[in-house]
């Protein structure tokens, strides 16, 4: 392969990789939307929601997921920074660590506050039984996601195990 | 009672026991008692029960001393009770957890995962379980 052919190939790869990644995005978005739609349909059946309740639930859920994603992003950033501070061979900055730890606790408090706000919002149009069902179903969905992430991280089986 | 017998009794009274006193050999009796007492007194180490008890005391004392010396030298290991999350796991699950700890995966990767963190195939898999 000549240098010119190699250059063309590398150029094609550089262009093709981001394009392929961008092509994945609509597929992911569509799949996420389908998952959420299916979740709502299942919940509507279980909780026997009216049309109005369904619309309001959908609205609060959308806002709640957006806030949760934001909080999750922030929390990951803080944990990442904490781990960076404690890398072997790197002198940890005590002040930075103390601030980061305070931030972790602050974010956990924010999660609790968010959960309270969500329950208050649902309480305006859902009965306690419907709210309990929704909370349980959301927890189940979260556990499935976590299980999938953990399966991905599972180490190879031990020999003979 | 008339006075005659009374006088006779009073004369006889001091003589009562005089014959017995005359027969007594006080020195010989005392020497016999001392000799018998000496014969009964044996040194304590010649008494079987006391000897056994003494041996047991020595053995137990030595055991306590050795044990305390060994325990003091042994490094103490703090026993930390397991968090509630671990207490309901089976042995195989705990082994899996130990293996996963060795991976040292960044904590940030596992913080509050959501749908955004799943791959397309995982999302398809999740959807399939919800539709089923």
- List, for residues A51-107, the tens digit of each pLDDT value: 999 999 999 999 999 999 899 999 999 999 999 999 888 888 999 999 999 999 999
d(CA A155, CA B97): 10
Closest CA to A128 of A120, A117, A139: A120
Cα A113 vs. chain centroid, distance in angstroms? 18
Give helix then strand counts, H and E, for chain A: 4, 0
What is residue A15's predicted lDDT score, i.e. its pLDDT? Answer: 45
- In this structure, the dihedral spanned by the alpha carbons of residues A49, A52, A58 and A63, taken in order and rounded to 10 degrees, is -130
Most distant CA atoms of chain B, gap in Å:
145
CB contact under 8 A, A158 and B99: yes
CB–CB contact A31 B120 (8 Å): yes
Counted residue by residue, chain A has a size of: 161
**pLDDT higher than 60, residue A10:** no
Q: What is the ipTM of this complex?
A: 0.70
What are the tens digits of pLDDT across the range B85-121? 777 778 777 777 666 665 567 787 778 888 888 899 9
| Chain center to CA of A13 | 30
Q: What is the DSSP letter of A48?
A: T
With a cut of 70, say whether residue A154 has pLDDT above it: no
**Least Cα separation, residue B83 to chain A (angstroms):** 19
Chain A residues in contact with B97 by the CB 8 A cut-off are none
pLDDT in tens, B46-91: 677 777 888 888 888 888 888 777 665 665 656 667 777 777 778 7
User: Would the CB atoms of B111 and A75 count as touching at under 8 Å?
Assistant: yes
3-state percent helix, strand, coil for chain A, nearest multiple of 5: 85, 0, 15
**Nearest CA among A128, A114, A83, A125 for reference residue A101:** A83
């Amino acid at each position: 392969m000549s240098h010119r052919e190699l250059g063309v190939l590398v150029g094609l790869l550089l262009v093709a990789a981001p394009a392929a990644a961008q092509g994945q995005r609509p597929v992911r978005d569509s799949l996420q939307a389908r998952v959420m739609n299916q979740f709502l349909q299942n919940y509507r059946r279980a909780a026997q929601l009216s049309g109005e309740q369904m619309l309001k639930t959908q609205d609060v859920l959308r806002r709640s997921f957006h806030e949760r994603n934001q909080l999750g992003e922030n929390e990951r950033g803080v944990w990442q920074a904490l781990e960076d501070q404690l890398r072997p061979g790197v002198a940890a900055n005590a002040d930075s660590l103390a601030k980061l730890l305070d931030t972790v606790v602050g974010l956990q408090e924010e999660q609790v506050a968010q959960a309270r706000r969500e329950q208050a919002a649902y309480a305006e149009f859902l009965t306690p039984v419907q709210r309990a069902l929704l909370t349980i179903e959301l927890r189940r969905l979260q556990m499935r996601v976590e299980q999938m992430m953990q399966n991905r991280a599972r180490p190879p089986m031990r020999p003979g195990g | 009672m008339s006075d005659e017998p009374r006088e006779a009794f009073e004369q006889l009274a001091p003589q009562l026991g005089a014959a017995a006193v005359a027969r007594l050999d006080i020195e010989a009796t005392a020497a016999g008692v001392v000799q018998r007492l000496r014969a009964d007194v044996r040194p304590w180490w010649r008494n079987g029960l006391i000897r056994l008890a003494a041996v047991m005391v020595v053995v137990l004392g030595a055991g306590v001393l050795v044990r305390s010396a060994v325990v003091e030298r042994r490094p103490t290991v703090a026993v930390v009770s397991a968090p509630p999350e671990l207490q309901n796991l089976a042995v195989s699950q705990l082994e899996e957890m130990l293996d996963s700890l060795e991976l040292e995966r960044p904590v940030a990767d596992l913080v509050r995962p959501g749908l955004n963190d799943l791959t397309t195939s995982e999302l398809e898999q999740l959807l399939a379980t919800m539709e089923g």
